[in-house]
Structure 1
């Protein structure tokens, strides 16, 4: 009898652990048309933040090749129009499309260069309500220079302002440096789970704490896809390495039933 009950308990445990959510494809962007879908995307305007101080709508920073979006970082050869030494292309869904409680996967290839800083990331859709870092930031992928790894990170008041790293807020994952890789994140009410090429990298959980702002991520987010150059983290640019490209094959957003 005890063996029967034990076997039944093991069966129930295995069955529950084997359960996986049923993902349903909700939206995808394949970049098949050689133009930006302006109902979803806008080019990113230049700003003062380190990640944004070379963003430009210059047509040379955007291209389509073999059904893929190409975002470039280039030397600015006409500083009478824009005083930035370098120009980069980037798109975001800010004010147009939000993502919440689902899985995002992006297939991309990243060229390497000194000072290259391509990124795929999420920010709060209602930015007027959630100022950085109180509303959080989810970095699906950042690559620096010639690295053979990418960084996957969350930022918040808890991790950035208070500087608390329990739980740890960032991890690296290996990539195929010269090939396409699939970068992904799952947004759950109780955790943010990162993966690369279908392999889980790490998870950032919601925890019980008396410190404020530990898990602000369970809110609608907008997506940012951008080529970046230079900055305090990535370092200076070598203009001899430019132009440098990030190719985006497709983006898919899944929701669970």
Structure 2
């Protein structure tokens, strides 16, 4: 039996990249996993199929996040297929318009905050009404909230900084129920979202530069993050809460 056997998890943005790796990791640990997606139904179905083929249990949940009523839509879809939740992973997010402050419009600013900050806040609010005591909340942050990075990611980094404050503050409120709340902060990860500037021969210099940031001299992989989340979601993570976990592969050293 796995560490999460008999428990149910919801992973937002759980069908691709880091989210898929988290979904698969929690399923391997025995959880029944709700794989959330916004638009890519095929990717979500493929993730569920992969989990099922490996002997796990999963189902898809569709809801567009970053729009009014998103949290209610998400949990309504979830409630049709599950009763209560034990692990909530707020992973869905966007890096936004990727513009420096002088070029960022109010609409672009609002859009990135709506998905990266407001959605996790209200998804968690409603999720806590369904979460059993001893549950886990894990928020996916970024190393950029602790170290200045590319100036075109200023709004994105701000959204994650707010998420970090949410993490440590909420941990104090829900601790009496045995619920832990933590943030995991990746560095550069080889995902489809980063493929445009990271993968391919034309981006070899960028790949090497990012790899050199880590003492391990490599780019992070989705499973590197998923394994950290797996620990925090497990019974062994019971004494860790309110923390920002540096999962940048040492890039901030």
**TM more than 0.5:** no
Q: TM-score, normalised by structure 1?
A: 0.26
Structure number with the higher strand fraction is 1
Higher relative contact order (CA 8 A, sep 6+): 1
**Bigger Rg over Cα:** 1
TM-score in terms of structure 2 length: 0.26
